[in-house]
Amino acid sequence: MITFILPGYSSHNRDWVLETAQKLKLGHEVRPVLWDHWTDSEKSFRPESKAQDVVDVLLKDKCNIIAKSVGTLVTALTLQQIPDRIEKIILCGIPSVSEKRLEIFKDAFKNFPPEKVVCFQNFKDPLASFGEIKEFMSKVNPKIRVIEKPRSDHNYPYSSNFQEFLSNS
């Protein structure tokens, strides 16, 4: 078992992904993903290729995924490819609610058990508010829990919540 942590696009997410990985005590490998475009401006960021990277790294292992911001899209694209190898998913800071993203999420989560997914969204996240994401996720699958957090930024320092969700069977 591996728990992947897929951060947001911006390099300031580096601290979040490393800190989250350091705080989790799950009894298996926790792998923070550091996007290569953070250190090499020649590298492009394509969510589809990042999802394929996750699939390629897993081989036959099962995994959990904690995803923030654009990492939530990479997670949905990964889930479309290997739904039987993903145990639990934590989404936080979903950044937008476009029709295209809705179709990707609906396709990805249509057969995935809703009790194995949780979404944390800050009340006043400047990219997408809790209300917007609550409505968005109700269209994806109304049984997926969306938990409102009190912050008004795009920061998700909720390691203890992540730990609790991943530790419960």
Q: What is the pLDDT of residues 115-169, one digit of tens each?
A: 999 999 999 999 999 999 999 999 999 999 999 999 999 999 999 999 999 998 6
Let me know: does 67 contact 6? Beta carbons within 8 Å: yes
Whole-number mean pLDDT of the chain?
93
Q: What are phi and psi of 150, to 5 degrees?
A: -80, 0
- pLDDT surpassing 90 at residue 42: no
Q: What is the pLDDT of residue 87?
A: 96
pTM for this predicted structure: 0.93
**CATH of the domain spanning 2-167, picked from 2.60.40.420, 2.60.40.3880, 3.40.50.1820, 2.120.10.30:** 3.40.50.1820
Question: Given 3-state DSSP classes, what are the helix, strand and coil percentages for the chain, each rounded to the nearest 5?
Answer: 45, 20, 35
- pLDDT surpassing 90 at residue 64: yes
C-alpha to C-alpha distance for 48 and 151, rounded to whole angstroms: 30
Give Cβ neighbours of residue 43 (< 8 Å, ≥ 6 apart).
36, 37
